[in-house]
Structure 1
């Protein structure tokens, strides 16, 4: 489904380990990868020490990073200058990409509870799906990465904004596969919560995809990461809604907390109502 992916790297300690984790993109249909590094125009807006690198040094490091992926994908490299979010979005559009990939850990210790300014900006502004690869533990060795050999997990609230995420999940899996689907209710109205799953249930039947469904009680931002960890989910797919015009212009709280707490890749799919909230 996603034939091409734009992967942003900043040459921080977690960049190479992140790339080594992306083998699952083959199952998503990715064949072509464009690996990009953005040379920041202001000191401090790049990765760890990357602002001091010369263009030649950037090219050399980018080729080293690209070599990690070349046994699985056709890889091209790009170096651009300017604001990371704007440059990545422009390049994705110019190259006709289907997916944007980036790490989801902030670099500054004071920002460890955030998903990172570049990641947050991409999710807020992108019209493409954004895959956030959790890299908090990447610089500690791959043995620190939790097991991710479980199912693909779709988290949906049944809204029209979530429909695109549901469709992407079904198309990505294809026939004769199974999909773990959850919806979370903060009330005891279980019947109403089950009705949220009617649309995805019908579409899955039409697509010959087997669903494993559940309604779980609690707060979505807590329950979804807990279930993902317990079932060793390989990927979480969910919709997102932008909050343009709201103070802070930030990613919607539920999706933001999922990205913070899941410790596994999260695919955020923009819905038709992404700018309404």
Structure 2
């Protein structure tokens, strides 16, 4: 499904723990990984990582690459400039299927933010984006996802969600089960259930068993709550438009799910946003 992935690291103290948790990308089909770091510029952009020489940064990239070398074919890239733009350009130029980055800011407000680079990628990425939770170990074990926990697909049945539905089914394969939810802000439950008709039909054809539910409330709150209660290992959801496309910005729902999730989130752009 995703044969290649770009993993962006900033060499903060959470970078190595994040890489050690990425073995589950194998079930996404990942075989090749490009591990990339953006060198800070003179103006200070380029992340919050340590200010090291190019030689030292390349050595750190090589050290970090060793964590993944046993599972994936790994290459490294050292870039310079704006992290978001450099990541997006590299992914496009090398035709990489998936972008991966950490989803916590390295600041006192980290409980409220997902980080400027992650936020920029959520708004601008034109391909699937995996945000890996990089919570510090001292934040406790409550709400920590089980790596063998269920995969949760959040869908509203729209065209923007179709690609996410397809990728979720391909990821799981036959004889697996997928937890699927749709969230309604109204009491029209029948209409909400109709949103699940497409994924239900697709799952039957693919031989994937669904556990479905319709829940009332705001998606950015309900989805993380269900994921926490069920100790989901991954949330998959679609996303609408990106910056620069007819002036449209990504919807706040997807970004707020990422902020509240406390676990990996895979954002899959709708077909009209890809490419």
TM-score by length of 2: 0.92
Contact 1:5 1:34 in 2 (8 A): yes
> Alignment partner of 1:105: what SS?
coil
Unaligned runs of 5+ in 2: none
Mapped partners of 2:235, 2:255: distance in 1: 13
Deviation (angstroms), 1:204? 0.7
User: Is the contact between residue 17 and residue 142 of structure 1 (CA under 8 Å) also seen in structure 2?
Assistant: no
What residue number does 1:73 align with? 72
1:104 matched to 2:114? no
Contact 1:36–1:78 (8 Å) recurs in 2: yes
SS at match of 2:112: coil
Please, which runs of 5 or more residues in structure 1 have no aligned partner? none
Could you tell me which residue of structure 1 aligns to residue 48 of structure 2?
48
Partners of 1:42 and 1:223 in 2: CA distance: 43
* Structure 1 residue 192, shift from structure 2 partner: 0.5
Q: Is the contact between residue 104 and residue 113 of structure 2 (CA under 8 Å) also seen in structure 1?
A: yes
TM-superposition CA deviations, 1:117-164 (whole Å, max 9, x none): 1112212222110000111325x3896781323111100001111111
Q: Return the offset for 1:96.
A: 1.7
Q: State whether residues 11 and 47 of structure 1, in contact with CA within 8 Å, keep that contact through their aligned partners in structure 2.
A: no
Match of 1:28 in 2: 28
SS at 1:215 equivalent: strand
Task: Output the aligned Cα RMSD.
Answer: 2.2
Aligned to 2:7: 7
Tell me what 2:92 maps to: 93
Partner SS state of residue 236, structure 2: strand
Q: Corresponding residue for 1:202? A: 201
> In the alignment, which residue of structure 1 is the partner of 2:179?
180
Q: Distance in 2 between matches of 1:115 and 1:49?
A: 16
Aligned to 1:165: 164
Distance 1:41 1:33 in 2: 25
Distance 2:70 2:143 in 1: 22
Q: Normalised by the size of structure 1, how large is the TM-score?
A: 0.91
The offset of 1:49, in angstroms, is 4.1
Does the Cα contact within 8 Å between 2:6 and 2:100 map onto a contact in 1? yes
Q: CA deviation at 1:205?
A: 0.6
Task: Give secondary structure in 1 for the equivalent of 2:271.
Answer: coil
Q: 1:130 aligns to what?
A: 129
Look up the SS of the partner of 2:33 in the other structure: strand
Question: For residue 147 of structure 1, what is the aligned residue in structure 2?
Answer: 145
The equivalent residue for 1:270 is 269
Q: Secondary structure at the match of 1:109?
A: coil
Contact kept, 8 Å, 1:47 with 1:107, in 2: the verdict is: no
Compute the displacement of 1:244 (Å): 3.2
CA separation in 2, counterparts of 1:132 and 1:211? 24
String of CA shifts for 1:245-272, please: whole Å, max 9, x gaps: 79x9764221111111111100000013
The change in CA–CA distance for 1:167 and 1:120 in structure 2 (over 3 A counts) is: same
Q: Tell me, yes or no, if the aligned pair for 1:137 and 1:144 is still in contact at 8 Å.
A: no
Q: How many residues align?
A: 272
